[in-house]
Structure 1
Amino acid sequence: MGIFGKQQIGIDLGTSTTIVYIARKGIALHQPSIVAIDKESNEIVAYGKEASKLVGRTSDRYEMIYPIRNGVIANFSMTKKMLGYFITQALNTSLSKPEVVISAPSQISKVERKAIIDAIKSLGINRAMIVEEAFVAALGADMAIEEARGKMIVDIGGGTTDIATLSYGEIVDSLTLSAASNNMNDEIQSQVRQEHDLMIGNYTAETLKIVIGEALFDPNEEDHLVVKGRHVVTGVPSEAKISSKTVAKAVDIVINQIIMGMKQVLELTPPELSADIMETGIVLTGGGSLLKHLPDRIQKEIGVPVRRANLPIDCVAMGAGRMFDELDRQSVVIERSLR
């Protein structure tokens, strides 16, 4: 135990963003999951926000590493270094040895689970545990998952969308999709290139999605945004006026995949729990859930009430941090049942 006492933290190790939550304190860190290295010296020059500032704006000397791909660790060495840096930043000390709960996609393999645990423990972490992303998202969204009634959570992150039904504090059925927020950006880039012969970066695509993107396009309320990029034919800097119709057409591809995945999970769900979900509704979490009118679109197509969690981006990290209280509660319940 360090001089600051035992720290309990929850980590949402996301494809796009890493969020650290300190139990009973709140969100301590919110940083892009990116590392910048100097290719000549092979040394790390920046993490997180500082590294993201270099994307697309530096010479070939620097390489941007994205350690997490589609919700899975793709580069263990960089992930360990990035996590070590972020945890130290969040706790403001390298002396404390915290207990960590980290989220992972619902269908992660045993090999991947062990690899993540090993990566965490190699940082000198006192105790580490992995919990399914959908489960901690539900905890962070304040869903009463311990009840016998069926609940449904859909966490739309950067690299994956986790869909799950829960009852009695357990995941009943689940599905992890690669269709997520980053795919929306990819589709926007592709659509802009196809319609305007303009190549735009991920930041510009994200801006289009946030400013004029929506899940229910209304031709009577069409909006536009002028963006800059590189002309496909001439190769010189250019700009184009992008319509909300273009953005809606792009994100619609991903939305349809998510809705199809939700229907697949609902088809597997026992009738009794399906009846509960009709009453309790579906809760959306994750940054991708912030797309305008997305709850309305899903409700329209599935026929079940849909709402967005109060703090959708932070739900997974908050839920991971609250797992310590949840484990204490379960221990009390088990102890009482044995008396």
Structure 2
Amino acid sequence: MELALVIAVVVIALAFDYTNGFHDAANAIATSVSTRALTPRVALAMAAVMNFLGAFLGTEVAETVGKGIINIPDGRHGLVVVIAALVGAITWNLITWYFGLPSSSSHALIGGLVGAGIASASVVLWSGILDKVVIPMVLSPAIGFLGAFALMTGILWVFRNRNPGKTTRGFRLSQSLSAAAMALGHGLQDAQKTMGVIFLALLTTGHVDPDDGIPTWVKIAAATAISLGTYSGGWRIMRTLGRRIIHLDPARGFASEAVASTVLYVMAIGLHAPVSTTHTITSAVMGTGATKRLSAVRWGVAKGIVMAWVLTIPAAGLVAAGVYGIAHLILE
């Protein structure tokens, strides 16, 4: 029975990884597609490849998710907790995908872990959540907005007397690189979160030694799942990010992606923090849009997005707690 639950956790975790891919595909390529720097299929293929490669750039985020959010009991009970957390995260991903809201898969997963942890009376590591989740959750969008605003202001000043046609063509080419960097950062951040959950399940059943790190097969499986999800696309959210917040031009698309990808790398490699790629790129898009004029950003759409951000952790946590209550009766 325990082995069957381990397999179930791995399958459900990879299913979450897949939904993460198609839910967050827009993060990497919406701005490039909306400015016509890349065609949708080329952009998706590029993002899928870069997601796969990004998953192998480190394991710091995976270790934070696997060891720094909750301490769950060993054995079957711990596996039930992980299953409940994953179902909570997947449910919220599907709800926000259906409504086209760019919410955070990362925070859905963390909310699921916390909700299932509380419901199961597991030890929730609140200090770790504050340091590695809450503070970066606030900082990354703020840095994304201000950094993109500053970079776009600099671009407008440097290129103020240049030929508009040549400048636009140049930034379209630059967007191919910035979109690839964004997709690489998405793989670095989000594929590792699934690795962390699988590692957590393997730890509870003694299938891995905590000092041995993430097994290679876990890295390959997580990288493959998120890449396949990304290639399947997330068109509903792509429209929101690429057009509904603000109508982007290539220069603003480049600035948004360049700043957002930088934030992802610094948070993952420097701070080991599982931040939201969604929050970061959306805030960066708002920041570049604000350089036109504040009224150029559709703040009504932005308000709906922010509400989804606020609701993500508690909503996924509530679903996970409910799933735990049912699964606890059936599986234990």
Pairwise TM-score range, normalised by the shorter structure:
under 0.3
Q: What TM-score comes out, normalization by structure 1 length?
A: 0.24
Which structure has the highest helix share of the two? Answer: 2
Rg bigger for which structure?
1
Which structure has the highest strand share of the two? Answer: 1
Q: What TM-score comes out, normalization by structure 2 length?
A: 0.24
